[in-house]
């Protein structure tokens, strides 16, 4: 039923970025690891923090690249190639400006929408865009000149609580994804209201 084998959370490495909006993908992986008692370990070979969790009957490789956002593909391609995981069986969690805080959506394929992490993953996976995305809403600053400061800034507490709630719901939906497949997980996640 479930075809996803690898879950990736995009982020920038280092404590100064930990709480910034751009790291929303990593918050999802960290929360998942916590919930399933997995310790993420630095893995120099794959340029990231790696681990694995068993949900239902499915094993998921976990990865948070530690390469900086615009080189995320190096880490993703390394782990995927090592375990021979096809692009279609990878789910990448990332911050999404087109969605408001408190909203998270699952989607298959698509472009990179200007997201440097997705851009690099697509490039390093031979331009195959068919991986699943978990888009975690962070809202938009309103003007493209403000985007960098926005994604590398910290959300105000009210927004952060909504983002955390959406991440928490997305983690719960992985249980559904593992047991009943992507569509059911999608239906549940897309009806979530923070």
* Structure letter (DSSP) for residue 20: B
Residue 108's SS3 state is strand
| Phi then psi dihedrals of residue 128, to 5 deg | -85, 115
Consecutive H or E run containing 125: none
Q: Provide the angle, in degrees to the nearest 10, between the axes of the packed helices 116-124 and 72-82.
A: 40
Inter-residue contact 20 to 151 (CB < 8 Å): yes
Inter-residue contact 30 to 40 (CB < 8 Å): yes
Inter-residue contact 66 to 9 (CB < 8 Å): no
Nearest one of 98, 94, 93, 101 to 155, comparing CA atoms? 101
Consecutive H or E run containing 103: none
Nearest one of 82, 96, 57 to 177, comparing CA atoms? 57
Active site members: 22
């Amino acid at each position: 039923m479930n075809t996803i084998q690898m879950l990736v959370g995009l982020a920038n490495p280092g404590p100064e970025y930990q709480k910034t909006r751009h790291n929303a993908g990593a918050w999802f992986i960290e929360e998942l690891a916590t919930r399933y008692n997995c310790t993420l370990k630095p893995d120099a070979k794959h340029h990231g923090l790696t681990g694995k969790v068993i949900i239902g009957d499915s094993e998921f490789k976990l990865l948070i690249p530690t390469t900086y956002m615009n080189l995320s593909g190096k880490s993703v391609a390394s782990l995927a190639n090592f375990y021979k995981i096809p692009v279609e069986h990878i789910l990448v969690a990332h911050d999404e400006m087109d969605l408001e805080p408190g909203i998270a959506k699952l989607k298959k394929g698509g472009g990179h929408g200007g997201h440097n992490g997705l851009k690099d993953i697509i490039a390093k996976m031979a331009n195959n865009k068919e991986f699943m995305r978990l888009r975690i809403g962070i809202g938009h600053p309103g003007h493209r000149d403000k985007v960098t400061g926005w994604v590398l800034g910290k959300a105000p507490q009210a927004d952060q609580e909504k983002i955390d709630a959406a991440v928490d719901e997305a983690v719960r939906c992985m249980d559904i994804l593992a047991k009943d497949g992507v569509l059911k997980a999608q239906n549940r996640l897309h009806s979530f209201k923070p």
